Structure 1
Amino acid sequence: MKNIIFLISFLLVVPAIAQMGETQQEDEKAVKTSKNLTWEANEDLQENEFVSAEAKYRRAIDKSKTNVAAPYNLGNAYYERDSYLEAFGRFKEAGENAASKAEKHRAYHNMGNVFMKNKEYQKAVEAYKEALRNDPTDEETRYNLALAKEMLKKQQQEQPENQDKEDQQDKKEEENQDKEEQDGGDQQDNNDQQDENKGDKQDGEDGDQGEQEKEENKEGDGEEKQEKKEPQQSNQQQPRPNQLSPQQIENLLEAMQNEEKKVQEKMDAKKVKGVPLKNKKDW
C-alpha cells in the first residue's frame, strides 16, 4: 500500500519538475533577449537615436522585470531631456525590481535628483536616505543629502513669509470682491430707482395723455353734437312742403287787398246805380 502511494506521488511530482524546468529555461531566454535589447538601446543613445532607443528599452522591460538596467537607463534618458515625471517612474520601477543593494542605491539616488529638480526637498531627503541605507559609503549621495537638507531648511523659513503674502493677497482679493459686490448692489439699487422713477414718469405721462385724450374726445363729442344740432336748426328755417313762404303770404295778402278793394268798389257802385250788372263771366 505504501509503495502505491509513493508511486502516485512521484508521478505527480515529475510533471511539475519538468514544467519548472521549462519555465526557468524560458525566463533565462527572456532575460537574455531583454539584456540584448538594452545593449542595442544604449548604442542608439550614443548615436542620438532617442526614439529607437526608447522603443527598445520598452521592449526589454516587457521581456523581463528582473533586468533593472532597462528601466534605469530609460529613466536616465528621460532625465537628460528634462522629462522628470517619466524619469521618476522608471527609476521607481528599477528600485522596486532591484535584487541587489547596489541597484537599489542607484535607483533611489536618482529619484532624489528628480525631487531636487522639482524643489520637493523633503522627498529628496527621504530618497537620499534610502540610497545611503543601501550604500553608506557613497559620498556623492551624502553630499546631495546635505544639500537637500539645507534647501529644505531655507524653504521652511521662507514659507511663513510666503504664507503671510498669500494671506494678504487673499484678504485683498476678498475685500475687492466685497467692494465689487457692494458697488454692484448700489448700482442695482440706482437702476431700480431709475426704473421706478421712469415708471412713475411714464404713468404720469400716460395719465396726462389719457386726460388730454378725454378732453379731446369730450370736445370732439361736443363739436359732433353741435354739428348734429346745427343741421336741425337749419332745417327749421327752411319752409316745409305744405307751408307758404313769406313772399307767397305777402302776394296773397296783396291779392286779397285788391279783391277786397274791388268788392268795395262794387258795393259803392251798387249803392249808386241800383241793381248790379252781371258780368260776362263769373268770378
Structure 2
Amino acid sequence: MIRRCYVILCMLMFFLTINSQTVNQLIRVGNKQYSQKDYVHAEISYRKVLNKDNNNILACYNLARTLQAQNKDSEAKILYEKVIKLKEASSARVSSYYNLGTLLQKEKNYGGAIETYKNVLRIDPNHNKARYNLELCKKQQQQKKKHSAGGRNKSNNNQKKNQKRNGDNKNGESNQAKNRNSMSRDNAQQLLNAAMQQEKETQERLSKAMKQPSDRKLDKNW
C-alpha cells in the first residue's frame, strides 16, 4: 500500500515537472519570438501558457507587451491591470503601471496617465522615465484645457457676432420700412397739397370770372 502511494506521488510530481517545463519552454520561445518582432507567434506562445496557468505573471505581462506592440491597446490594458492586482507581482507591477500610463497618455487621458505614473514613483521613486512622462502629461493636460477654453471663447464670440449681425440686419430692415412709410406719407401729403392748391386756383378763377361785367347787351322787353 505504501509502495503504491509512493508510485502515485512520483507520477504526480513527474507530470507537474513536465507541465512546468512546458510552461517555461513556451515563455522562452515567446520571448525569442518577441525579440525578433514576430509578435503574432509570440502572442500564440504566451496564450498557450495562460491556458495552462491563467495567473502566470510573466505570461500575462509579456502578452500585454506583445499586444501593445500590435496596437491592441484595449486587451493590453486589461492584462496590465491584471498583473498589477496579482500579489506575487513586484518588478512586473512597476513595469505594468508604466506601460499602462503610456497607453493612457496615447489616448490623451492625461488625468489617468498622471495618476498611473504617480503609482510608479510611489513604488520606485528613481524611475526617471515615469517622472519625465508625468511632467509631460501635466503640460499636455494644461494645453488641452487652454485649447478647450479657447474653443469655447471663440464659439461664444462667433455667437455674439452673429447675434449682432442679425440685430443690425433687423434694425436695417426696420429703418428701411420706416423710410418707406415716411416716403409714402410724404408723397400722399404732397399729392393732397397739390390737389388743394389746384382746387384753390380753380375757385379763384371762377370768382374773378363772376365779378367781371358782361360785354353782351340784353334785348329789351317790349
Task: Verify same fold: TM over 0.5.
Answer: yes
Gap regions ≥5 residues in structure 2: 1-10, 164-222
Deviation at 1:47, TM superposition (A): 3.7
SS in 2 for 1:119: coil
Aligned equivalent of 2:101: 112
Extract unaligned runs of 5+ from structure 1: 1-21, 176-283
CA deviation vs aligned residue, 1:82-127 (integer Å, no higher than 9, x gap): 2222222222222222524322111000000001111110010011
Asked if the contact 2:39/2:69 (under 8 Å) is kept, the reply is: no
CA offsets 1:28-71 (integer angstroms, 9 cap, x no match): 76555333211111122234433222111111122224421212
* Matching residue of 1:222: none
TM-score normalised to structure 1 length: 0.46
Q: 1:136 to 1:55 in 2, by over 3 A?
A: same
Q: State which structure, 1 or 2, has the greater radius of gyration over its C-alpha atoms.
A: 1
The percent identity for this pair of structures is: 25
Which residue identity is paired with 1:143? Answer: Y
Q: Distance in 2 between matches of 1:68 and 1:146?
A: 30
3-state SS in 2 of match to 1:34: helix
Question: Does residue 1:85 correspond to 2:74, yes or no?
Answer: yes
Relative distance call for 1:27 and 1:100 in structure 2 (3 A) is farther
CA distance in 2, matches of 1:28, 1:147: 48
- Report SS of the residue matched to 2:108: coil
Indicate the larger mover: 131-140 or 97-106.
Answer: 97-106
Give the alignment's TM-score, normalised by structure 2.
Answer: 0.57
DSSP 3-state at the match of 1:112: helix
What value does the CA root-mean-square deviation take over the aligned residues? Answer: 3.2
Paired position in structure 1 for 2:85: 96
**Structure with the greater relative contact order (CA < 8 A, sep ≥ 6): 1 or 2?**
2
**Residue 33 of structure 2 aligns with which residue?**
44
Shift of 1:161: 2.2
**1:136-194: CA deviations, max 9, x gaps?**
2211111111111111122122222234456789x7xxx9xxxxxxxxxxxxxxxxxxx
